[in-house]
């Protein structure tokens, strides 16, 4: 007879997305059962690029110190032609979100750090060797039926019940198939051979994309002296042929003096896919990561897009589970994540087509055009600073329009015809994008990252003012029920005065670098409503605060029920 086990959320798949989502829900105090069909975590490299947005999420769940040793920050990418000439450099210098924009990383080690982090939570358990064969959903819950093979070879059935189930089982996701949603996009016929080796025979730390018309390739220096190569395969080359050591050594002969003396980790053929599910949620079942979208490897965004999913979904599930928000909040997960996922897929496919040109005349034309464009500093910096990568901008979801205070959507520009807007340095709206993460001084510590100071739930950030002076009591009561932290950021010169004169309970932060002042100087929005995922839900003049707050609460289906806000993390970094 099977036994039923209860928890708040079932996560299917102990890959990086499932592990991160379990960490977020565990941090917020919710019970999680993570079911994995394999007997252990995958121990070979897959993803190799980790970006600043993902590192910010790693910071939120308190795992920077265990992840950082398995990364190499400031991963520079050089696109070279068939002659080895550099035609494009990607080397962004920004620390906008508190971390270097690009890192190389060893995925098995980082995934292990996410897994080990779950030991902090008594309410989270991971069960390996549990293959989910069926899911039954009713009005109040969802039940996963898992088959478990015992040490004696006997197969037993176990049932797990929860309020929601999230499928993070990869591109062939049974959860997505059960939802009956389409998986739109393309799977180019081009195949690639990936080769990973230990004891990097080159030792150079960065990335080379070889746009060689004879055979495009990738060469990537990774942490822990790991080197990865990827080679495009021709149509007449079989998988058996290209994984033969003699063939692989011939491919590597142009890259290393002695291919036969390498310590190989793996040799595998793969095909790029670019697909996005038509919906990420149906009823009580949700998909995330590769189950929701498949990314070609060119922009290194597969792992990172999954982290964005977990970051977006995690706080929303927490709000619904705590009773703060209605079930409709979960519909905004598709609203907010689908379009950006599609944009990243499209960019990756386009970049891939640029690299894998095999016609010599077309390749020569590409190289010539790149040389000319590199003569223009603005064009050159556009690629160097990675400004071609579309940053997430949510236009529908948990948002309030900065001009009209309309709930649930936000235009990209502020159009209100009032002098503070007309005289602003920019009228590009900050609503729907990530708020930067500068370093600030706090009453307890100096030079800390903003997120470590304000905690991991909602915040209202006001420049120069006491939030309790510019918001009416009715709004303050709603913010209290939401569990939002009231934050005032002032020039460092004023911090001591502000700490003495502002209301108890308001967190006063000192802007000792001037970065926060510069941000508010440029924008006519001195009041920011900051979501737990660090996206701006609302930005406005102080007198528009009450209407903006009400619009945000409607967009998140806020119930008015109070819930205990998660504790702020220790002030580190």
Q: What pLDDT is stored for residue 383 in this prediction?
A: 45
- Mean pLDDT of all residues in the chain? 89
pTM of the predicted protein model: 0.91
Closest CA to 337 of 381, 279, 295, 388: 279
Helices and strands (DSSP H and E) totals, the chain: 18, 32
Q: What pLDDT is stored for residue 134 in this prediction?
A: 95
| pLDDT tens per residue across span 219-235 | 999 999 999 999 989 88
Q: How far is CA 88 from CA 76, 82, 373, 374, 515, in A?
A: 11, 13, 10, 8, 30
User: 6 pLDDT band (50/70/90 cuts)?
Assistant: very high
Q: What pLDDT is stored for residue 273 in this prediction?
A: 77
Least confident range of 127-141, 222-236, 264-278: 264-278
Count Cβ neighbours within 10 Å for each residue of 249-262 and write b for 16 or more, e otherwise: eebbeebbeebeeb
Token pair 């400031």 is at which residue?
74
Q: Pull the structure tokens for residue 389.
A: 């990568």
Q: What pLDDT is stored for residue 448 in this prediction?
A: 97
Q: What pLDDT is stored for residue 82 in this prediction?
A: 80
| Average pLDDT, integer, range 141-156 | 90
Least confident range of 274-278, 448-452, 514-518: 274-278
Burial class from Cβ neighbours inside 10 Å (0-12, 13-18, 19+) for residue 21 reads: buried
Q: What pLDDT is stored for residue 80 in this prediction?
A: 87
Q: What pLDDT is stored for residue 382 in this prediction?
A: 40
DSSP β-bridge partners for residue 210: 80, 217
Q: What is the 3-state secondary structure (H, E, C) of 477-526?
A: HHHHHHCCEEEEEEEHHHHHHHHHHCCCCCEEEEECCCHHHHHHHHCCCC
What count of Cα atoms within 13 Å lies in the side-chain half-sphere of residue 494? 16
User: 379 pLDDT band (50/70/90 cuts)?
Assistant: very low
User: 571 pLDDT band (50/70/90 cuts)?
Assistant: very low
Least confident range of 173-182, 204-213, 486-495, 535-544: 204-213
Residue 403 has pLDDT above 50, yes or no: yes
Residue 128 has pLDDT above 90, yes or no: yes
Q: What pLDDT is stored for residue 370 in this prediction?
A: 57
Burial class from Cβ neighbours inside 10 Å (0-12, 13-18, 19+) for residue 67 reads: buried
Q: What pLDDT is stored for residue 184 in this prediction?
A: 83
| Average pLDDT, integer, range 29-57 | 92
- What domains appear along the chain, each with residue ranges and CATH number? 4-66+105-179+274-351 (3.50.50.60), 191-271 (3.30.70), 396-555 (3.40.30.10)
Spatial distance between the Cα atoms of 308 and 302, rounded to a whole number of angstroms: 10
Q: What pLDDT is stored for residue 5 in this prediction?
A: 79
Q: What pLDDT is stored for residue 363 in this prediction?
A: 53
Q: What pLDDT is stored for residue 424 in this prediction?
A: 87
Residue 299 has pLDDT above 60, yes or no: no
Residue 72 sits at φ, ψ, to 5 deg, of -125, 105
| pLDDT tens per residue across span 415-447 | 988 888 888 889 999 999 999 999 999 999 999
User: 566 pLDDT band (50/70/90 cuts)?
Assistant: low
Give the whole-number percent of the chain exceeding pLDDT 70. 89
Q: What pLDDT is stored for residue 118 in this prediction?
A: 98
Residue 380 has pLDDT above 70, yes or no: no
Closest CA to 432 of 449, 413, 451, 418: 413
Q: What pLDDT is stored for residue 569 in this prediction?
A: 40
Highest mean pLDDT of the ranges 34-48, 344-358, 385-399, 454-468: 454-468
Residue 385 has pLDDT above 50, yes or no: no
User: 389 pLDDT band (50/70/90 cuts)?
Assistant: low
Spatial distance between the Cα atoms of 124 and 101, rounded to a whole number of angstroms: 31
Torsion angle (degrees, nearest 10) of CA 255, 257, 260, 262 = -70
Q: Pull the structure tokens for residue 462.
A: 């006001």
Contacts of 253 (CB under 8 A, 6+ apart): 259
Going 180 to 186 to 190 to 194, the CA torsion angle's sign is negative
For residue 394, the 8-state DSSP code is -
Q: What pLDDT is stored for residue 90 in this prediction?
A: 81
| pLDDT tens per residue across span 207-219 | 888 888 888 889 9
Least confident range of 69-73, 139-143, 306-310, 339-343: 339-343
Residue 353 has pLDDT above 80, yes or no: no
């Amino acid at each position: 007879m099977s036994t039923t086990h209860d928890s708040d959320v079932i996560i299917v798949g102990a890959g990086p997305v499932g592990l991160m989502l379990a960490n977020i829900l565990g941090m917020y105090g919710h019970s999680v059962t993570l079911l994995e069909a394999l007997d252990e975590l995958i121990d070979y490299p897959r993803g190799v690029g980790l970006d600043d947005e993902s590192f910010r999420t790693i910071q939120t769940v308190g795992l920077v110190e265990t992840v950082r040793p398995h990364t190499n920050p400031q991963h520079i990418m050089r696109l070279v032609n068939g002659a080895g000439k550099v035609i494009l450099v990607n080397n962004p210098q920004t620390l906008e979100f508190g971390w270097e924009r690009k890192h190389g990383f060893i995925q098995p080690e980082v995934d292990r750090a996410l897994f080990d982090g779950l030991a902090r939570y008594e309410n989270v358990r991971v069960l390996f060797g549990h293959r989910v064969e069926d899911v039954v959903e009713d009005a109040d819950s969802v039940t996963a039926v898992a088959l478990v093979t015992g040490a004696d070879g006997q197969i037993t059935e176990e049932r797990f019940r929860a309020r929601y189930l999230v499928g993070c089982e990869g591109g062939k996701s049974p959860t997505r198939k059960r939802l009956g949603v389409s998986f739109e996009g393309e799977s180019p016929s081009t195949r690639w051979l990936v080769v990973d080796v230990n004891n990097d025979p080159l030792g150079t730390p960065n990335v080379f994309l070889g746009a060689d018309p004879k055979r495009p390739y990738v060469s990537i220096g990774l942490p822990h002296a790991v080197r990865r190569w990827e080679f495009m395969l021709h149509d007449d080359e079989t998988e058996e042929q290209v994984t033969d050591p003699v063939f692989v050594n011939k491919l590597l002969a142009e890259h290393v003096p002695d291919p036969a003396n390498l310590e190989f980790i793996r040799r595998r053929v793969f095909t790029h896919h670019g697909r996005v599910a038509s919906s990420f949620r149906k009823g009580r079942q949700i998909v995330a990561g590769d189950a929701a979208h498949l990314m070609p490897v060119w922009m290194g965004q597969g792992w990172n897009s999954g982290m964005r999913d977990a970051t977006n979904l995690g706080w929303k599930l927490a709000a619904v589970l705590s009773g703060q928000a209605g079930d409709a909040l979960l519909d905004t997960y598709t609203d907010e994540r689908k379009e950006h996922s599609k944009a990243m897929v499209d960019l990756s496919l386009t970049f891939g087509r640029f690299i894998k040109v095999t016609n010599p005349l077309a390749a020569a034309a590409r190289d010539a055009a790149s040389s000319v464009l590199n003569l223009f500093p603005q064009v050159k910096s556009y690629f160097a600073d990675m400004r071609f990568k579309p940053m997430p901008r949510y236009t529908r979801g948990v948002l309030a329009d900065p001009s009209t205070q309309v709930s649930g959507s936000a235009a990209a520009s502020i159009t209100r015809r009032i002098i503070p807007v007309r005289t602003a340095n920019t009228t590009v709206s900050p609503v729907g994008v990530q708020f930067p993460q500068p370093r600030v001084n706090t009453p307890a510590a100096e030079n800390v990252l903003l997120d470590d100071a304000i905690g991991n739930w909602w915040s209202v950030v006001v420049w120069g003012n006491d939030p309790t002076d510019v918001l009416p009591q009715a709004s303050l009561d709603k913010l209290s029920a939401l569990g939002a932290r009231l934050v005032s950021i002032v020039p460092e010169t004023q911090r001591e005065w502000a700490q003495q004169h502002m209301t108890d309970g308001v967190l006063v932060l000192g802007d000792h670098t001037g970065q926060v002042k510069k941000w508010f100087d440029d924008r006519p929005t001195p009041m920011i409503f900051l979501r737990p995922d660090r996206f701006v839900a609302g930005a406005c003049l102080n007198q528009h605060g009450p209407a903006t707050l009400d619009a945000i609460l409607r967009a998140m289906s806020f119930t008015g029920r109070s819930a205990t806000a998660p504790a702020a993390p220790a002030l580190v970094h």
